[in-house]
Amino acid sequence: MSVDLTSQEDTNRRMLRARDEMDRRYAEPLDVPHLAAIAHLSASQFGRVFKSVYGETPHRYLQRRRVERAMTLLRQTDRPVTDVAWDVGFASLGTFSRTFSNVVGCSPTEFRAQHAPVAVPSCFIAAWTRPRTAATTVVSEKQAGVDPA
């Protein structure tokens, strides 16, 4: 039995495969031609399609994922900030600190001082503290005073 996918569904699946590869290998250098090959696109086309699907460039996505992992390491270990930067794939402490500050809003050292280790699974912490690019508010139709009819 074959499954016929729409063009958009096929594109989304291919982009998801490439994004999954980025998630698995976040600490390694970003190789756009390799990711584009996974998505069956040219390197330049990959960048445009990735941004249209995920709302950010592949580079920015990878940087954010690295910062998310660094947040966990800073919270749960006492390793030096430089070691954490290298562990998550940054080659420069300056680039790491600047990117971390842009995404999180404070330096890695300040973040560590403000966030003591928590005894809950790291997947919950990642979800609770995931950096958000835009503040959005979801309004429920079930709020008091709103008649769904």
Residue 98 to residue 50: CA distance in whole angstroms: 24
pLDDT in tens, the chain (149 residues): 456 678 889 999 999 999 999 999 999 988 899 999 999 999 999 999 999 999 999 999 999 999 999 999 999 999 999 999 999 999 999 999 999 999 999 999 999 999 877 666 767 767 777 776 654 444 445 555 555 54
Contacts 24+ apart (CB under 8 A), 140-147: none
